[in-house]
Each structure stands twice: as C-alpha cells, then as structure tokens.
Structure 1
Amino acid sequence: MPRRTATMLASTLILIALLCAGVLMKVPYSEMSPGPTVNTLGKVGGEPVLQISGRKTYKTSGNLNMTTVRVTGADYNMNLVEAVYGWLAHDSVVVPHDTLYPNGKTEQQSTQENAEEFSQSQESAKVAALTELGIPVTSRVVVSTVIKDSPAQGKLHAGDVIKAVDGTAVKQPEDVAKLVTKHKPGENVTFTVIPAKTAAAAEKAGKEPQGSEKITITTAKAAKENRAIVGIQAGTDHTFPFRIDIKLADVGGPSAGLMFSLGIIDKLTPGQLTGGKFIAGTGTIDDRGKVGPIGGINMKLVGARNAGARYFLTPDDNCKAAATDTPRGLTLVKVKTIDDAKKSLEKIRTGDTAALPSCSAG
C-alpha cells in the first residue's frame, strides 16, 4: 500500500475514532435555544390569549409578542460533539448544567417552580396594567405556603388573609417576617387572620372579607440562623374589579409579565398601542410596574427576529448583553417600567423612532 494512501487511511480511522469518542463522552452541559413567541394580542389554539369580561374592550392590531427559550431536560446527557456544535452555532447557547438545574434540581421540580412563577407573573401583570390605567385593585397579604412539619402547620393555611401580627397591621408580605423575627425562638406570636374559606366566599360575592380570628403559634429556630420562624411564606392576593384570564399552556417562568401587562392595557384602552407594528419583548414585572431582568436574552432576540419582530422591549439590566449580539433588523428598546414601555410604543406608533431609548454594549 502506498505511503500516502496508508497515511490518509490512518488519519481517517483516527478521525472516526475521535468522533466516536466524542459521541460517547458525556459532558456536564445543557443547551438553550430560541423558543416560540406568542402574540399576547392574538389567539393560541383558537382561543384569545387575553380574555377580559365585565369591562369594555377595544380592537387591537399588530403584535406584542412574548418570547421564550427552549432548554434541554435535566436528565439529558449532552455529548462532546453536541457541546462543540452548540458552542459554534449562532442560534443556541451551551451552558453548565448546574446553571439551569442547580443543586441537583430535577426537571419536575424545575417545571413546578416555573409554573408557579408564571402564575405569579400573570397576577402581577394584571395589577401593574390596571394600576397604570388608574383602575383600583384590592390587595391583601395572605399565607402563600405552609411548610410541612413547621409550627404553623395545622394552624395557618394557604389563602388565609393576614391582617396583623401581634396586633401590628400587616401591609406588605415582608412585614410578616419582620414582626415574627422580633421574637426569640420558643416565644409565642399571635396572628390575626381571616380564614381562607371565608376570604374566598367574600371574594366570590364581590365583598371585602370580614370575620378575623386570633391564632397563637410558638416560634421555632431557623435551620441555619438563630432567628424565630413559624414556617410560612407570605404573599399577596388581589381582587380585580372584572375578570381577566390569560390562556396560555406549556409556558413557565416570570419573563412574560411585561408583555402581558401591555396586552391588557391595549385591550382596555381606545386606539392601538402598536400602530400595527410587530413588537416583541421580555421582562418580569412587579405590582408597581417595575420591569426586571430575565435569562436567555440573546436566544429570545433570535426567536423574536425569526418570528418577524422589528422592535424588542428590553429590560434595562439585560441591555448590555442584548446589545453585544443583536440580530440584524431588530431594534432594541430599553425599558425600566411599564410607563417607559408605553411611551416607547407611542414613539414607534408615531414614527419617532430616533427618540427611542436604546441599549448600549458599553
């Protein structure tokens, strides 16, 4: 066999061996890629994403698309060849497995957590939108979760309205922890609550819940700190003056909050926020309308541009990363609050795009 042929054959065999080794060699990485985008003003499966009843709504046009990211599952074992391909590809990102599933979190746990965050983001989106429109929303501090085997188990229940702790009125969820930690472990703390069933019945009847009762709980010591706890997580419950439903399955996480809020505002106000333009975006939102950062920003930009978006509403804290690799034809618009977003939409609608707040990579 000629030397040249033998060399080529040996090189080919080595290459094949390396490829086989790469396929068999598992690496601790996961992949993120652009997920589907959904127009919050449109329909999915024949149903409107935003459904409002009990209040006059107005015709909308254009797109206010929320964006998503696909990720590989917690049990997916990426091989070296896939990791290298992902690193080289423009439309995917390879990240350490623990970035997506920290502390051994299972896919089921991650899905549950994302579902809870998605539900909370919907509530905050409704509150932020109605507050921006000057429509009153009644808010209450409630028991969100009771930890198993904690002092509160059997005494407090999810949905109980917390009116006061030790006689001090509670106005924000964080007030509860502050009042409980004034005690030493082993001391009694008294909660004034309206039971969840009573509160639910009142809400269904459109009335403010009444009929509080006092419950005394002996505090315990926190697992890693010398502070008093009772074993609950406090949250906020809202009563809306009319019904707002968000119909969207198989989506998780809090990052659609901003776009849901804008969609609600568009449906409840005359005129059209988008002016018929295709606008996408992302960002968490709190009850006060503040926009927060999200993960996977660059993948969301790619997904938005592939769907046809021309403008992308970008949380201020994500601007730097987004500006380093912006798809051609997509204009980034920096937003800090829902009011910022509304003002930017007005500029887009009227063609005053030179005045849009932009993102900088510097």
Structure 2
Amino acid sequence: MGRVNRRILTLLAALIPVLALGIAGSAVTVPFVALGPGPTFNTLGVVEGKQVVDVRGATVNPTSGNLNMTTVSVRDGLNIFEAFGLWADGNYGLVPRAEVYPPGVPRDEVDKSNQQDFKNSEDNAELAALHFLKYPTDVQVAGLADNGPAKGLLNKGDQIVDISGKAVATSADVVSAIQGEKPGVVVPIVVRRGGAEQTVQVKLAARPDDSAKGYLGMTPTEVAQGPIQVDFNLADIGGPSAGLMFSLGLVDKLSTGKLNGGKFIAGTGTIDPDGKVGPIGGIQYKMIAAHDAGAETFLVPADNCNEARQRTPNGLRLIKVDTLTTAVNALNDLNVGKPTPSCG
C-alpha cells in the first residue's frame, strides 16, 4: 500500500510542473504579434454588393480577371502556445508588439492613423490614375493653418485658378508659385468660389521652420475636373500599400482593353499623385496571400525586390515596378509575351 502511495505521489509530482506550464502557457500573453498572409481583394470586383473601385460620370470599359490588392494580418494577444504554433506554421512571423503598437499610444489611435493612411492612399491612387490617363484636375483648398496668413481669406473648397499670374493645374504648381517668395510679399490668388472668380490678396508670413521663406498656410489638393467621381469601397483596411493596385484598377476601368489580359495579377505598393511607387512592409506575407488566392503574377515595388526575391512562393512571377507607368507597360508587355522587369 505504501509503495502504491509513493508511486501516486511521484506521478503527481511529475504532473504538477506540466500542469503549471500548461496553465501558464494558456494564460500568459507574450510581447509579440504574429504577422501573416491577410485577405486579398480584387480591385476590379465587388465586395458586399459594391464595386471596389466605383466610377461614375465616365465611360467604364469592360474588365475581367483580377488585379488584387494584398494585406498583412496581425494577430495580437497571443499566449505562449499560440505564438509557438504560428511561428512553427512557417507562414507567420513574430515581431515585438512595440513595432506595431508603440508603447504609450492607445490602440484606437494606431488604428485611426492606419485608416488615415489608407484614405490618403485612395486619394493618391485616384490622382495618379487620372494624371496617367491625362484627365484634367482642379486644385482646391483642402485645409488652412489656424494662424496662417490665408486663414479668413481663402475658404476650404475654393478652387485655385491662378497665383501671381501663374496658372495652377496641380498641387505642385501652388508650391512652385510660392517657392522663393519672401515673408511680407503680397500674393494675388485667383479663386473660383460659388461659380464666380475673384482675386484674394494674401500677405505671406514667415515659415515656421525657415523665417527667410514665405508661408501661405494653405494645403492644396487635386480633384477630378468635371463629372467623373471615384469611390473606393473597402472598409476596415489600414495602411498605404493598396495605392498601386487601386490606381491600376481605375486605369483598367477607364481605358480600353484588359490591362491584366484577363489573368490573375496581384501586387502591392504605395503610390503618390505623380505615380511613383514606394516600398511596403510584410512583402513575404502578401506574396503568400496572393499565391494562395490564385495569383500567377505579383507586382513588387522596386525597393522591396531583394526581400521578395528571397521568399518568392513557387510558381509566382515577380514584376519589378517603380512607377504606375512602369506597371502599366509591364502588364501590356506580359500580355503579348514580351520580357518584363524582374526582381532578378
């Protein structure tokens, strides 16, 4: 009887650390998040009954196939077992939580910042596509500095027609017209407000970061001229990396032919209003997501090529792009069997 009791006690002694480890592994979260493949969305398709890229006021040409934007999933609040399981999966990577959610910054502020980045990417994507297609744009007042010299003289939504006798067609024209002017100079600005043109005289102040340079205190933005209107209908997505694929979706809808040749193309990349494509994070996870969704070709920002080349899923063709024009030309070449820019 004593021998049996000793065996039971020995077994319990061995099990207690295991049970304790199991409880700790399930209850204790780790200071890491898991990054992995996220959902992809066809910019030529429909989500929840709405066109992802919805165009009104212009002829929309037939499209087919896919031009998919890609995302990275973020899994937070992981316990030890979950973190180990995702790491062992091979499709996920663990990074310090502070890299995604900076200490001292509330989670909702991080989310709002990511959502604003996404909204900016939509605006840039629209302008890049319109510039590429030679659609005319108007320049409007998007915002005014609270203590800036234009406050009270210009109104949000005013169309900027002319500055100091120089016609304004792009946001860059505003910068060019003010650049080089000194504080105290009175600048005549022709605006269209309420359907009528008027001239507003603005006396430049000193720039907060350089007192020798003139400062207008106005943020310009470009909008499509005429009846065309573009909406991007994706919710709960953050970050700026959808810009390139949004632009390509819009270009495809507003031009003849099928930009993707009817095939499944995916990609990623930021974009600015002039069509320059910038690098993004998580390229390896986006390629996995694209490959798993059925993509045959993936558009890679030039600055991400080294990383992408090292982790390319089998069978996925990489095309290197640095501008919207490069991306469009590469897809056209792909459709007719010509060589395309490669990541190596």
* TM-score, normalized by the shorter chain, greater than 0.5: yes
Local SS of the residue matching 1:294: coil
Aligned residues: 337
Aligned residue for 2:197, secondary structure, equals coil
Moved more, 171-180 or 62-71: 171-180
Counterpart-to-counterpart distance in 1, 2:326 and 2:132 = 11
- CA–CA distance in structure 2, aligned partners of residues 91 and 20 of structure 1: 27
CA 1:218–1:271: 2 relative to 1, 3 Å = closer
Q: TM-score, normalised by structure 2?
A: 0.80
User: What amino acid maps onto 1:115 in structure 2?
Assistant: Q
Aligned residues of 2:319 and 2:341 also touching (Cα < 8 A):
yes
Counterpart CA distance in 2 for 1:232 and 1:6 is 78
1:5-20 → structure 2 map (5 Å cutoff): 10-20=13-23
| CA distance in 2: counterparts of 1:29 and 1:192, whole angstroms | 55
Aligned match of 2:32 in 23, 29, 32? Answer: 29
In 2, Cα distance between equivalents of 1:332 and 1:114: 27
Q: Which has the higher strand share?
A: 2
In structure 2, relative to structure 1, the CA distance for the partners of 1:102 and 1:309 (3 Å cut) is same
Contact 1:334–1:357 (8 Å) recurs in 2:
yes
Q: Of 203, 225, 231, which residue of structure 2 is paired with 1:240? A: 225
In the other structure, the counterpart of 1:102 is 102
Which residue does the alignment assign to 1:212? 199
Distance 1:27 1:60, change over 3 A: same
Q: Distance in 1 between matches of 2:68 and 2:91?
A: 19
CA distance in 2, matches of 1:288, 1:301: 26
Measure, in 1, the Cα distance between the counterparts of 2:330 and 2:198.
46
Q: Secondary structure of the residue that 1:58 maps to in structure 2?
A: coil
- Map 1:1-362 to 2 at 5 A: 10-72=13-75, 77-102=77-102, 104-133=104-133, 135-140=134-139, 142-146=140-144, 158-160=156-158, 172=172, 174=175, 183=183, 192-193=188-189, 199=193, 201-202=194-195, 210-216=197-203, 232=217, 234-250=219-235, 251-352=237-338, 355-360=339-344
Q: Which amino acid aligns with 1:275?
A: G
Shift, 1:66, TM fit: 0.9
The CA RMSD measured in Å over matched residues stands at 3.6
Change (3 A) 1:317 1:232: same
Identity of aligned residues (%): 39
SS of match in other structure, 1:358: coil
Distance 1:146 1:328, change over 3 A: same
1:115-170 C-alpha deviation (Å, 9 max, x unpaired): 3332332232223223323x232242x55444567787666654455678899988
> In 1, Cα distance between the equivalents of 2:261 and 2:199?
49
CA change 1:190–1:79 in 2 (3 A) is farther
TM-score by length of 1: 0.77
What is the DSSP-based 3-state SS (H/G/I as helix, E as strand, rest coil) of the residue aligned with 2:198?
coil
For residues 187-206 of structure 1, the C-alpha deviation after alignment (integer angstroms, 9 at most, x for no partner) is: x57565567xx54x44xxxx
Show structure 2 runs of 5+ residues with no match: none
Query: 247-256 vs 23-32, which deviates more?
Result: 23-32
Q: Which amino acid is the alignment partner of residue 342 of structure 2?
A: S
After TM superposition, give the deviation of residue 13 of structure 1 in Å: 2.8
Which amino acid counterpart does residue 213 of structure 1 have in structure 2? V
Instruction: Report the structure number with the largest CA radius of gyration.
Output: 2
How many angstroms apart in 2 are the aligned matches of 1:79 and 1:229?
A: 55
User: Are the equivalent residues in 1 in contact too, given 2:50–2:233 (CA < 8 A)?
Assistant: no
The whole-number CA distance in structure 2 between the counterparts of 1:228 and 1:84 is 56
Q: CA deviation at 1:240?
A: 3.0
Counterparts of 1:217 and 1:239 in 2: how far apart (Å)?
Answer: 29
Give the Å deviation of 1:292.
Answer: 1.0
Q: Tell me if the contact between 1:64 and 1:259 (Cα under 8 Å) persists in the aligned partners.
A: yes
How far apart are the structure 2 equivalents of 1:117 and 1:164? 30
Q: Secondary structure at the match of 2:343?
A: coil
Q: Structure 1: how far apart are the matches of 2:29 and 2:248?
A: 43
